[in-house]
Amino acid sequence: MTSAGGSTYTNPLRDPQDRRLPRIAGPCGLVLFGVTGDLSRKKVMPAIYDLANRGLLPPGFSLVGYARRDWADEDFAQIVHDSVKQYARTEFREEVWKQLAEGFRFVPGDFADDAAFDQLKRTLTELDDVRGTAGNHAFYLSIPPKFFADVIGQLKEHGMAEQSDTSWRRVVVEKPFGHDLASAQELNRVVSEVFPAESVFRIDHYLGKETVQNILALRFANNMFEPIWNSNYVDHVQITMAEDIGIGGRAGYYDGIGAARDVIQNHLLQLMALIAMEEPSAFDATSLRMEKQKILSAVTLPASLDHSTARGQYDEGWSGGELVKGYTDEDDIAATSTTETYAAIKLGIGTRRWAEVPFYLRVGKRLGRRVTEVAVVFKRAPHLPFSVNATEDLGQNALVIRIQPDEGITTRFGAKVPGTAMEIRDVNMDFAYGGTFTESSPEAYERLILDVLLGDPPLFPQQREVELSWNILDPIMKHWAKGGRPEKYPSGTWGPASADKMLARDGRKWRRP
Ligand code: BG6
């Protein structure tokens, strides 16, 4: 089957519905704006090479870099080469690199430069002729959102946004999708004036992670979890995204944005939606989005934002055996900055399935270690036919989805300690990707870029999800804005004391992953 512009090559002898077959992009190219940025160098370029190395790109694939640099094609190729050598997941193979690099072009210019956009257009036409990209081009905006309007306007002006019956044009945007509901709507207005909704691919890279996609497999391909996946059995859910790194060189992006807008608005609320949603009627974009949207629109805020949220800012401390700076001592951060580097919030979901089950979301930089996990914590057994002493060390059963770095799933339950007495203690049963599957998981960006080139939308949030997520976060951000400075926590610890108090009020504790 061939979608608009022949994007997907399918062997006619195979069942086109068979999702196990390798999906290979049809003739196409990608234009990358923001080639000098961290994201391009660390994620996008290596992912393109990894896709080529896995044989998932068409032979004539082309990559056009656009930036305000006085570079020739060879200089751009060198930048991609360095990035691939440093960050690619798969081994470097000269023959793959050579073939890929033949499709590299560079167009120098800024976003107001009409002549440069003319040249970009000529370059795409040339690639269609010599590389057979067939008019199919994706424009990847790896640039701050304040430039979206300029670039998208230029693409339109210079006739590069129009698709035809036989070719496609797509635009890829990276978060942040605005900094609140109003700005997200404005951003969407700018993009949707030029590109129809089905041609806009919003990247939330968490959705490209294997372990995140596995949440749906775990829940809906098995029979043993779903019956207990509700308020009758679940006590609460903890979603943690902890990083040990600080803000590094990203002061310009991060300051004024902070932890909640940076990752709760997108990654963590998406994780929550996948954990909480009902079974979709089909495994397609429309059905998945509908179920996620139902959850996001049913989210309720706690009665007291003072008691049920916490925010912090990392201070000097020990991280990985090294004394590291506090946030306000980082380069380009003002001593008076009130940006939070830690955020925790308690949310509810107003549905029968989740009534009275709190979802605790927390995220922080410079925490004890890097770990992202979802812990579904179960209620205690209603009756224990043992002496009190026997179950002193018995905690609550839990199912922990380890998103990263040690990918897998752990179930925690009570077991008898071997010996003559009845003593019950928590034990863990583990599924680890490393020990089970021989192939290492692709990087999220490999999957997502391939999906863009294939025009396959299920893993990309739509504007409605973005807006619903801002609806949840906006009142919290407003509340925090009135509240002065976030509480300091020493680097290398697990966040501010107020976050522990927040759970203690509910008689609970954060997990120490
Ligand atoms: C990004 C955030 O979306 O995710 C960063 O902007 C964060 O602040 C990063 O460091 C973490 O991604 P990952 O895949 O390493 O968990």
Q: Kindly give the number of the ligand 1 atom that is closest to the alpha carbon of 209.
A: 14
The answer, yes or no, to whether any atom of ligand 1 lies below 6 A from the CB of 243, is: yes
The answer, yes or no, to whether any atom of ligand 1 lies below 6 A from the CB of 204, is: no
For the chain, first and last CA: distance in Å?
46
The answer, yes or no, to whether any atom of ligand 1 lies below 6 A from the CB of 262, is: yes
> CB–CB of 6/104 below 8 Å?
no
Query: For residue 19, what pLDDT is reported?
Result: 62
Query: For residue 16, what pLDDT is reported?
Result: 53
pLDDT band at 513 (very low <50, low <70, confident <90, very high): confident
pLDDT at 147 over 70: yes
pTM: 0.94
Rounded distance from Cα 365 to ligand 1 centre (Å): 10
Q: Is 110 helix (H, G, I), strand (E, B) or coil?
A: coil
In angstroms, what CA-CA distances link 487 with 218, 313, 495? 38, 6, 9
Residue 267 annotated among the catalytic residues of the structure: yes
> CB–CB of 319/493 below 8 Å?
no
Residues above pLDDT 90, as percent of the chain? 92
**Angle 269-276/463-481 helices, nearest 10 degrees?**
120
Residue-wise pLDDT tens digits, 90-121 = 999 999 999 999 999 999 999 999 999 999 99
Residue-wise pLDDT tens digits, 455-466 = 999 999 999 999
Q: Could you tell me the domains of the chain?
A: 8-174 (3.40.50.720), 207-381+462-504 (3.30.360.10)
Which residue matches tokens 């700005």? 183
Residue-wise pLDDT tens digits, 293-333 = 999 999 999 999 999 999 999 999 999 999 999 999 999 99
Query: For residue 484, what pLDDT is reported?
Result: 85
Most ligand 1 atoms within 8 A of CB, residue of 173, 175, 245, 263 to mutate: 263
Atom 11 of ligand 1: nearest residue by CA position: 243
Backbone angles phi, psi at 29, to 5 degrees: -145, 170
Residue-wise pLDDT tens digits, 175-209 = 889 999 999 999 999 999 999 999 999 999 999 99
Neighbours of 142 (CB within 10 A): 20
Which residue matches tokens 């890829």? 172
Give the dihedral of Cα atoms 48, 53, 58, 60; nearest 10 deg: 80
> CB–CB of 206/212 below 8 Å?
yes
Rounded distance from Cα 382 to ligand 1 centre (Å): 40
Residues 179, 236, 267, 479: which is the catalytic one? 267
Query: For residue 15, what pLDDT is reported?
Result: 56
Residues 42-45: contacts with CB within 8 Å, 24+ apart? 42/83, 42/87, 43/87, 43/205, 43/443, 43/445, 44/140, 44/142, 44/445, 44/449, 45/79, 45/80, 45/83, 45/84, 45/87
Q: How far apart are CA 464 and CA 92, in angstroms?
A: 40
- On the question of a cis peptide bond just before residue 513, with omega within 30 degrees of 0, the verdict is no
**Average pLDDT score over residue span 432-438:** 93
The string of DSSP codes covering 272-327 is HHHHHPPPPSSSSHHHHHHHHHHHHHHEE--S-HHHHEEEEEEESEEETTEEE--G
Rounded distance from Cα 207 to ligand 1 centre (Å): 12
Q: How far apart are CA 406 and CA 248, in angstroms?
A: 23
pLDDT at 7 over 50: no
Which residue matches tokens 């044989």? 55
Atom 15 of ligand 1: nearest residue by CA position: 243
